[in-house]
Amino acid sequence: MPLIPFASKEDEHLSLAMLGRWLGPFLSLFEKGVQKLGFVIVKKFSYIDDDGRVDTGLVLQKNHRKTRLWLRNALDDFIYVDREENPVRIDPALFDKKSGNQKLRELIKDRLELLRIVSECRSINEVRKRVVDLDDKFERIKIFR
């Protein structure tokens, strides 16, 4: 059984092709975005998660505070229509360069906004209060509640 549930081998191969096409721009925009927010990228990392899937991320530093930013969920949200759907479906917007770039910019802008808020807060309670305004963009952010 594949680690990510696809409807067919063709969809699995298509996912790999889309990942190959979009991973570079995805990482590049994320890195530029965190640097614009004043973070220094201390380290880039990859590891195999408990579910057997590879996750990648960045260790960021700003004002002597270090933060780990995992990128797998953001990448899955970009590549798939719904990352929790079973089987997953490739987002058809990614077949069009203009639509794919627009989705990429919007997703990264939203994730960087979340990172900015989290980095400005001194407590989890403060994060909870400020993230409530982002709920419509981050359906799964409800883990804070």
Give the pLDDT confidence of 85-134 residue by residue, as tens digits: 999 999 999 999 999 999 999 999 989 998 998 888 888 888 878 777 66
Q: What is the pLDDT of residue 1?
A: 44
In a domain, 144, yes or no: no
142: pLDDT strictly greater than 80: no
Domain count, the chain: 1
**85 inside domain:** yes
User: Is 1 inside any structural domain?
Assistant: no
Q: Which residue range(s) make up the domain with 89?
A: 9-139
Cα separation, 52 vs 92, whole angstroms: 26
Number of H-type helices and E-type strands within the chain:
4, 3
Query: What global pTM score does this model have?
Result: 0.83
Residue 14 CA, chain-centre distance (Å), reads 19
CA angle 113, 69, 13 (to 5 degrees): 100
Say whether 38 sits in a helix, a strand or coil.
coil
